[in-house]
Amino acid sequence: MTTPQAAPNGATRTDDGVPTDAELAASLEGDFTSAHADVNGTRLHHVTGGQGEPLVLLGGWPQTWWQFRKVMPELARHYRVTAVDLRGMGSSAKPESGYDKRTMGQDIGELIRHLGHESAYVLGHDIGASVGYHLAANDPGAVRALVTVDLGVPIDSWLNIGMLPGSDEQVAALEHGRGSYPWWFAFNQLRELPERLLVGRFRHVIDWLYGHMLLDQASVEEDARRIYAHAYDNAEAIRAGNGWYQTMRQDILDLANHEPVAVPILTLAGELGYAQLREEMGPRMGTDIRVVEVKGSGHYVPEEQPETLVREVLAFLGAQSA
C-alpha cells in the first residue's frame, strides 16, 4: 500500500505521484465530480458531469474510468455522462464474487436508478461491452440504446480459443508487436499465481498490451499508463480483474437461452478486431445491430480515435432520440 500525502488542491495523492480520482475528475471540462454508490451489495466508484439524458460509460481490463478522459468532455456537452469503475476496478469495491456479467450488469442497472434515472444510454468498451450487453439482455428497460466497443459478447465459440498462436500472422504479431492472440484469457483463469507474479510489476502488462494493440503508441500517454498500473499493482486488484475472465464460461451459459436483444446496438471495432466482431455481432445477438470499423485504431478506441468514437456515438444516439 502507498501512503497518502497532501496534494496541492487539498485532496490526497499517493506517494508515487498518481493523482486521486477527485483530482482527475476536476481536471476534465464539464464539471465532473467523483463519488461512490452502494448498489447490488457492492460499492461502485463513478465520475459524473454534463447535462442532458443519461449516458453511462463502462470500461475494461486493465484500465479504469480514466480511459474515457478524451471523450467525456465532448459527450458531456450533449449528455449527463457517468463513467463507472466496474465491480473490481479502480476505486470500486473488490468483493470475492459477483464477477459474472449478469451480476455486474445488475450493478449498473441499480446504479442508473441510484442516479435518479429509469434508464440510460450505455456504452461499454472491452469487458464493459459484455457487461452492457448482459444488462440489455436481462433488464432491457434500463438500456435505451447500447454501444459496444471492440469486444463481442462471450459465446460458445470462445470456448475454442486456442492456447497457441493459430496462424503465422499471430506468430508474426507476437514477434513484431502489432496484434496478438488473447493469451491472457487463459492466464487470467489462474488463481493466486498472477498475483504472485505481477504485484509491483503490472506496468509490464500495461505496456505489453498497448505495445501490441495500439496502432499509435503516443495515443496513450505516460501519465495514463502510470494511473492504470497503479490501479492494478496490488494482489486484490489483480484477483478482482481476473475474476472478469474466470466467469466467462458462466457468462456463455447465462446467454444460452436468450432471445436476440431488441435494444438498438452500435458496435465500434478497431482495425485489429473488426472482421471477428462483424461475424460475432450478428442476428443471433440482436435484432438491430450495426458494426462499424474505426480506421486508424487498434483495440483501445476511446484513447486512440476519440474523435471518431464521439462522432459515431452522437450520430447513433441522436438517431435513437429522434
**Residue 301 lies inside a defined structural domain of this protein:** yes
**Residue 293 lies inside a defined structural domain of this protein:** yes
Q: Average pLDDT, stretch 177-182?
A: 77
pLDDT, one tens digit per residue, over 192-248 is: 999 999 999 999 999 999 999 999 999 999 999 999 999 999 999 999 999 999 999
Say what the pTM is.
Answer: 0.94
The CATH number that applies at residue 293 is: 3.40.50.1820
**Residue 169 lies inside a defined structural domain of this protein:** no
Domain count, the chain: 1
Instruction: Print the domain residue range for 260.
Output: 5-161+249-321
The pLDDT score that the predictor gives to residue 11 is: 41
Closest CA to 75 of 89, 58, 60, 56: 56
**Residue 244 lies inside a defined structural domain of this protein:** no
How many contiguous H segments (helices) and E segments (strands) does the chain have? 14, 10
The pLDDT score that the predictor gives to residue 14 is: 55
Residues 176, 238, 309, CA angle at the centre, nearest 5°? Answer: 60
Provide the grid cell at 322. 429522434
In terms of pLDDT, which residue wins out, 166 or 57? Answer: 57
Strand locations in the chain (E):
5-6, 12-13, 33-39, 42-49, 53-58, 79-85, 120-125, 143-149, 265-270, 289-294
The answer to whether residue 1 scores a pLDDT higher than 50 is no
pLDDT, one tens digit per residue, over 108-144 is: 999 999 999 999 999 999 999 999 999 999 999 999 9
**Residue 94 lies inside a defined structural domain of this protein:** yes
Give the confidence band of 165 by pLDDT, cuts at 50, 70, 90. Answer: confident
**Residue 186 lies inside a defined structural domain of this protein:** no
**Residue 209 lies inside a defined structural domain of this protein:** no
**Residue 50 lies inside a defined structural domain of this protein:** yes
> What's the rounded Cα separation, in Å, for the pair 315 and 318?
5
Cβ atoms of residues 155 and 255 within 8 Å = yes
**In the 8-state DSSP scheme, what is residue 100?**
S
**% of the chain exceeding 90 in pLDDT:** 82
